[in-house]
Structure 1
């Protein structure tokens, strides 16, 4: 069988070791962009575009916005990997990242991130609009200079304020369709802003020792589990409240899903708090995964509601 495989490889003129090296190198550069993070951002960008026009946007506009937005997010994530290589090296959760394993030289990763960032600006400027391009670059700069270089290693509130960068895709999506930024974009921004702490602190509860070893003062590192769980509950309630502020721009369909999903998530957030107070075994990663599901349900409801074109309720605040 091995002989047949070698003959086949010679027939197509490809050296197996060379092909593997190309794949490994491409995979390493892709890993620098943190594809799973980008995937989550795209889940919110598309519904924001649907809501902006209360209809299905142009496929070309969606594609251009998603490609440009993915390049911007990939740029920020790659530059983050360069700056945080020392942290990633001592954390079990991140020790397989490309710079830790020397799969990509540090200088090349820096250049890769900068090129992606410049490319995202050009892509969005010429295929979407200048406002979307400027917002994308502002997001990259905020993530690198405010979150990564200033907040992350200095304050337990790092993900609260630094998480604003992860809220920007909905604003960029809205700007891509309308060329402006209006109140529903700010409300969607706030939904993700208040979603980020429960999402991230649940993960940090699981990997508390990792963050402590790396010297990153995540809230679960510097506060008691009960305090962290209480903060998760508080932020969850505020998050659900902000989702309901989108009801005037949507219909009863979105309102039903937002309320149901919010009730579901609050049930589990309170469950985590109750387990912590009782000293029972906790599973914070269960809440972490449910937070992803919750965000997807809320924003998919936005997209479906807008695509159907149901009349907006237009209720006063």
Structure 2
């Protein structure tokens, strides 16, 4: 029996919490790019990034509605809860995706629109429909989709792609596995029940912890590249180093914890949950420091 929906359910389809981080990295890419963009065009570019991210969320919820209904973390989403039917949700997502790319191309520039279209197609077809249910490397390869916004923001200003936005892309790309695998450790039972081959389900908690550590060890020096290239100043370099040390400390707590092996996922304040939450703050603070450093420097 269908349950009547309201505007909050349609907003929930857009995954606003995920959208916030995507929009933020897009804004940073726009702010640190050389040159100047008319404020109206800049707002339009960020709006298009936000709408495209929301479209990806809606299409993802449409495609994953079967496993969302099984997982405790997602079973109250609008589609599995019956508040929005699958067909309208898909139409909503496709319309937003097409509209965002079209407006970006017509109002801002074609290169930014092409990269935006690539990011949408990568998230929908490569990550959601191909990788997520087939390989424990789903979030590694699929992480590229979430790494595009900074490049799109840069391209909106410059009409091209340079080395620096590729470095920012790399930072988000390498950040994604330790970020998401910390969540996967915490929500391990959910993914196992739904049959999603996340790394903890396929390879176990011990290997997942090891991979989280390895990616974080790569991530921390990678965040120093803008400073080493001379693109940013000492304030960013110091901030990136301190944030990285705290991230490594959070990861150390994860690799020395055994709570998730005892089947206690989704309970308490496990180190994996704490690392997941810090990883979000980490990326916000890191990219924010880069923008502030550039603007005052």
Give the C-alpha shift of residue 224 in structure 1: 2.4
Question: SS at the partner of 2:291?
Answer: helix
Quick one: distance in 1 between partners of 2:35 and 2:189? 46
Question: SS at the partner of 2:170?
Answer: helix
Is 1:163 the counterpart of 2:151? The answer is no
Structure number with greater Rg is: 1
Quick one: distance in 1 between partners of 2:81 and 2:221? 43
Give the C-alpha shift of residue 264 in structure 1: 1.1
Specify the alignment match of 1:196 in structure 2.
176
Specify the alignment match of 1:11 in structure 2.
none
Give the C-alpha shift of residue 182 in structure 1: 0.5
Quick one: distance in 2 between partners of 1:262 and 1:169? 22
Give the C-alpha shift of residue 25 in structure 1: 2.1
Structure 2 residue corresponding to 1:45, chosen from 26, 47, 56: 26
Structure 2 unmatched runs, 5+: 265-269
Give matches, 1:171-190, under 5 Å: 171-190=151-170
Give matches, 1:15-34, under 5 Å: 24-34=5-15
Specify the alignment match of 2:237 in structure 1.
255
Specify the alignment match of 2:84 in structure 1.
104
Matched residue pairs, number? 285
Is 1:242 the counterpart of 2:230? The answer is no
Structure 1 unmatched runs, 5+: 1-20, 311-317
Give matches, 1:23-102, under 5 Å: 24-53=5-34, 58-102=38-82
Quick one: distance in 2 between partners of 1:271 and 1:99? 36
Give the C-alpha shift of residue 58 in structure 1: 4.2
Structure 2 length-normalised TM: 0.92
| Cα distance change of structure 1 residues 237 and 54 upon mapping to structure 2, 3 Å threshold | farther
Give the C-alpha shift of residue 43 in structure 1: 1.8
Give the C-alpha shift of residue 152 in structure 1: 0.4
Give the C-alpha shift of residue 53 in structure 1: 2.2
Specify the alignment match of 1:283 in structure 2.
271
Give the C-alpha shift of residue 275 in structure 1: 2.5
Specify the alignment match of 2:267 in structure 1.
none
Give the C-alpha shift of residue 144 in structure 1: 1.1
1:148-200 CA distances to partner (integer Å, 9 max, x unpaired)? Answer: 11110010000000111000101101101111000011110010011101110
Structure 1 length-normalised TM: 0.86
Quick one: distance in 1 between partners of 2:273 and 2:184? 9
Tell me which moved more, 298-307 or 59-68: 59-68
- CA contact under 8 A between 1:69 and 1:169: conserved in structure 2? yes
